[in-house]
């Protein structure tokens, strides 16, 4: 019971601080914060179509949040889900336009598998380096993000550049490779359902499988895990690889479902927003669902609000940044370190 209360407080406090600060900002520019927030609420959730676009914006965040949480709960500070998202997204899209369209319904699963493999391989690198050589994963995954950005940026402007549509985009994927739209004309696509499946699988993995339990042990206490016979190395690599699979699938869903191609600037910081969601939720599946929908609503409402009022869309980034700064107070490593100090 008290853990639920703790989690609720951990979820609410950073959001509260963020909304207080943005209320002050809004007051400073002469807007009524209550009006703005209620407008955001209606724009985010007010009608089925608006709700659909909120869910559509939440889809990539669900993937990146789960991808991040898999590592965070194992005490692996992976900030590289954004890179896996890019690599997986490009791999899926390239498969989606270069494989023969005649494959029909089989095309989507093939593309998803390819994306998962690429994402897994991408984060296997820092996982292996951490497990075998103790190479600091924060730095390695951060650097790999930039490398992923450079590689995909090069490929989308070079070998995979669309001949028809000019700059920075690949050709569109075959129609058969597109994920179906759930409520046309809204962009909500079946990638959202995939994200829910991934979330449920994560919940099952963390609570009902030995590997998931071992992951939590390694996150809480590496030495203890080693003593009771858990292979810390294997757990770390597994967490990274699974994180890469989920990140890669997220990129695939975004590419095949939302954009139908790969573009320069494919990930609008989804990896980092997803990290904010995972932190806010303290890796709990339900919390991540709520958090992702909330940030999805912010993103989709922010766009409309900018159209109809003087409030810049950047308010969303202010909120996200504050949440990230204040959401992290109880993260695994820190609690351990603080306990050791006390």
Partner 1 sequence: MIEQVLASGVVLTTPILLAAIGGLVNRQAGIVNIALEGKMLAGAFVAIVISAATGSWLIATVTAALVSMVIGWGFSLTITRLGANMITAGLGLNVLAAGSIGFLMSYAYGSSGTLRLPDVALLPHVFPASVEGLPVVGQLLANLDPLTILAVLSIAVLPFLLGATRFGLWIRATGNAAPVMRSVGLNPKLLQEASTAFAGFFAGLAGAQLALASIGIFNEGLTAGRGFIALAAFYFGRDRPWQTAAACLLFGLLDAAQIRMQTVGLPPRLIGALPYLMVLVALVVSQMRSLRRTQ
Smallest gap from residue 296 Cβ to partner 1 (A): 16
How many other CB atoms sit within 10 Å of the CB of residue 309? 12
> How many residues make contact with partner 1 (CB under 8 A)?
53
Instruction: Candidates 1, 2, 5, 133: give the one binding partner 1 (CB under 8 A).
Output: 133
* CA angle in degrees (0–180, nearest 5) for 279-285-286: 100
Burial of 207 (0-12, 13-18, 19+ CB in 10 A): exposed
Asked if 338 is part of the footprint of partner 1 (rule: CB under 8 A), the reply reads yes
b/e code 36-46 from CB counts within 10 Å (16+ = b): beebbeebbee
Asked if 143 is part of the footprint of partner 1 (rule: CB under 8 A), the reply reads yes
Interatomic CA distance for residues 32 and 3, integer angstroms = 36
Instruction: Candidates 12, 16, 24, 29: give the one binding partner 1 (CB under 8 A).
Output: 29
The alpha-helical segments, DSSP class H, found in 99-173 are 107-133, 137-157
Burial of 183 (0-12, 13-18, 19+ CB in 10 A): middle
149-178 residues near partner 1, rule: CB under 8 A: 149-151, 153-154, 157-158
Smallest gap from residue 177 Cβ to partner 1 (A): 26
Q: Judged by CB, which is closer to partner 1: 33, or 269?
A: 269
Tabulate helix, strand, coil % of the chain (nearest 5).
75, 0, 25
Asked if 327 is part of the footprint of partner 1 (rule: CB under 8 A), the reply reads yes
Asked if 136 is part of the footprint of partner 1 (rule: CB under 8 A), the reply reads yes
Asked if 94 is part of the footprint of partner 1 (rule: CB under 8 A), the reply reads no
Report residue 243 as tokens.
């994180």
Q: Judged by CB, which is closer to partner 1: 23, or 183?
A: 23
Q: What is the 3-state secondary structure (H, E, C) of 272-324?
A: HHHHHHHHHCCCCHHHHHHHHHHHHHHHHHHHHHHHHCCCCCCHHHHHHHHHH
Asked if 276 is part of the footprint of partner 1 (rule: CB under 8 A), the reply reads yes
Q: Judged by CB, which is closer to partner 1: 19, or 205?
A: 19
Instruction: Candidates 120, 144, 237, 301: give the one binding partner 1 (CB under 8 A).
Output: 144
Burial of 166 (0-12, 13-18, 19+ CB in 10 A): exposed
Q: Judged by CB, which is closer to partner 1: 203, or 318?
A: 318
Q: Judged by CB, which is closer to partner 1: 108, or 331?
A: 331
Instruction: Candidates 23, 103, 121, 138: give the one binding partner 1 (CB under 8 A).
Output: 138
Interatomic CA distance for residues 254 and 244, integer angstroms = 15
Instruction: Candidates 103, 161, 220, 318: give the one binding partner 1 (CB under 8 A).
Output: 318
199-228 residues near partner 1, rule: CB under 8 A: none
What angle in degrees, to the nearest 10, is found between the helix axes of 191-208 and 48-72? 40
Instruction: Candidates 140, 170, 267, 300: give the one binding partner 1 (CB under 8 A).
Output: 140
Asked if 33 is part of the footprint of partner 1 (rule: CB under 8 A), the reply reads no
Smallest gap from residue 152 Cβ to partner 1 (A): 9
Asked if 147 is part of the footprint of partner 1 (rule: CB under 8 A), the reply reads yes
Instruction: Candidates 2, 4, 310, 342: give the one binding partner 1 (CB under 8 A).
Output: 310
Instruction: Candidates 222, 269, 290, 336: give the one binding partner 1 (CB under 8 A).
Output: 269
Interatomic CA distance for residues 290 and 206, integer angstroms = 18
Q: Which helix (H) or strand (E) holds 338?
A: helix 332-341
* 3 state SS of 229: coil
For residue 240, give the nearest of 86, 131, 152, 85 by alpha carbon.
131
Smallest gap from residue 102 Cβ to partner 1 (A): 33
Asked if 24 is part of the footprint of partner 1 (rule: CB under 8 A), the reply reads no
Query: What is the contact surface with partner 1 in residues (CB under 8 A)?
Result: 25, 29, 77, 79, 129, 133-136, 138-140, 142-144, 146-147, 149-151, 153-154, 157-158, 269, 272, 275-276, 279, 310, 312-331, 333-334, 338
């Amino acid at each position: 019971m008290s853990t639920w209360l703790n989690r609720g407080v951990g979820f609410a406090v950073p959001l509260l601080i963020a909304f207080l600060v943005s209320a002050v900002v809004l007051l400073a520019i002469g807007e009524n914060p209550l009006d703005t927030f209620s407008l955001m609420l209606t724009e985010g959730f007010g009608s089925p179509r608006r709700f659909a676009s909120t869910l559509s914006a939440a889809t990539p965040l669900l993937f990146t949040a789960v991808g991040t949480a898999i590592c965070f709960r194992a005490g692996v500070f992976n900030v590289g889900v954004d890179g896996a998202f890019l690599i997986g997204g490009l791999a899926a899209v390239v498969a989606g336009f270069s494989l023969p369209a005649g494959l029909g319904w089989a095309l989507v699963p093939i593309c998803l598998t390819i994306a998962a493999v690429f994402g897994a391989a991408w984060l296997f690198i820092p996982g292996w380096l951490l497990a075998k050589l103790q190479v600091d994963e924060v730095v390695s995954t951060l650097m790999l993000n930039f490398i992923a950005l450079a590689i995909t940026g090069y490929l989308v402007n070079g070998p995979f550049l669309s001949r028809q549509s000019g700059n920075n985009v690949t050709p569109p994927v075959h129609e058969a490779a597109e994920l179906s739209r759930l409520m046309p004309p809204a962009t909500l696509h079946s990638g959202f359902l995939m994200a829910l499946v991934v979330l449920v699988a994560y919940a099952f993995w963390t609570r009902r499988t030995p590997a998931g339990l071992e992951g939590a042990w390694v996150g809480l206490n590496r030495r203890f895990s080693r003593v009771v016979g858990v292979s810390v190395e294997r757990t770390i690599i597994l967490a990274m690889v699974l994180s890469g699979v989920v990140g890669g699938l997220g990129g695939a869903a975004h590419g095949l479902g939302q954009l139908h191609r790969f573009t320069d600037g494919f990930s609008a910081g989804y990896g980092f927003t997803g990290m904010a969601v995972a932190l806010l939720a303290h890796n709990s599946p339900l919390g991540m669902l709520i958090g992702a929908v909330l940030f999805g609503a912010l993103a989709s409402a922010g766009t409309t609000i900018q159209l109809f009022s003087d409030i810049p869309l950047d308010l969303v980034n202010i909120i996200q940044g504050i949440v990230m700064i204040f959401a992290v107070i109880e993260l695994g490593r820190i609690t351990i370190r603080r306990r050791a100090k006390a």
